[in-house]
């Protein structure tokens, strides 16, 4: 399955809508697309995962790396729109406790 990534920049925030499956095949594309923005100082990144049907540990690794980079640069990573399955994946690994995750999309990415 393909992965689609739609990015919109507004001021010091990047809004990203991801759709499809995040796995060993598609995770490198996601990382390659998001990493340059994560390396900007004081940039907040909001990623809407409401249309992600599947994610494996490779996808988790992308978000851990993104989280570390954004935080080190003074920004914040927000994950929104997680399905129950994705939320459980983040909770089981303990990432749900350290990352800013909101299962609801509020205003979010269009």
Q: What is the CATH number of the domain that holds 68?
A: 3.30.750.24
Q: Model-level pTM?
A: 0.90
The answer to whether residue 11 sits within a structural domain is yes
Cα–Cα distance, 12 to 28 (Å, whole number): 25
Q: Let me know the angle formed at the C-alpha of 26 by 61 and 80, rounded to the nearest 5 degrees.
A: 60
The answer to whether residue 108 sits within a structural domain is no
Count CA atoms within 13 Å of residue 33 on its CB side.
19
Number of CB atoms found within 10 A of residue 80's CB: 21
Tens of pLDDT, residues 11-49: 889 999 999 999 999 999 999 999 999 998 888 999 999
The answer to whether residue 43 sits within a structural domain is yes
With a cut of 90, say whether residue 76 has pLDDT above it: yes
The answer to whether residue 98 sits within a structural domain is yes
The answer to whether residue 79 sits within a structural domain is yes
The answer to whether residue 53 sits within a structural domain is yes
* Position 104 confidence tier, pLDDT thresholds 50, 70, 90: low
Overall domain count for the chain: 1
The answer to whether residue 107 sits within a structural domain is no
Give the domain range for residue 45: 3-102
């Amino acid at each position: 399955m393909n992965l689609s990534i739609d990015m919109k920049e507004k001021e010091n925030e990047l809004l990203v809508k991801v759709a499809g499956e995040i796995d060993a095949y598609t995770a490198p594309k996601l990382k390659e697309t998001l990493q340059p923005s994560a390396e900007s100082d004081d940039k907040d990144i909001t990623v809407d995962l409401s249309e992600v049907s599947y994610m494996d540990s490779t996808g988790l690794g992308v978000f851990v790396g993104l989280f570390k980079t954004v935080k080190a640069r003074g920004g914040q990573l927000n994950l929104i729109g997680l399905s129950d399955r994705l939320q459980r994946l983040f909770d089981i690994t303990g990432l749900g406790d350290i990352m800013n995750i909101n299962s609801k999309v509020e205003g979010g990415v269009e």
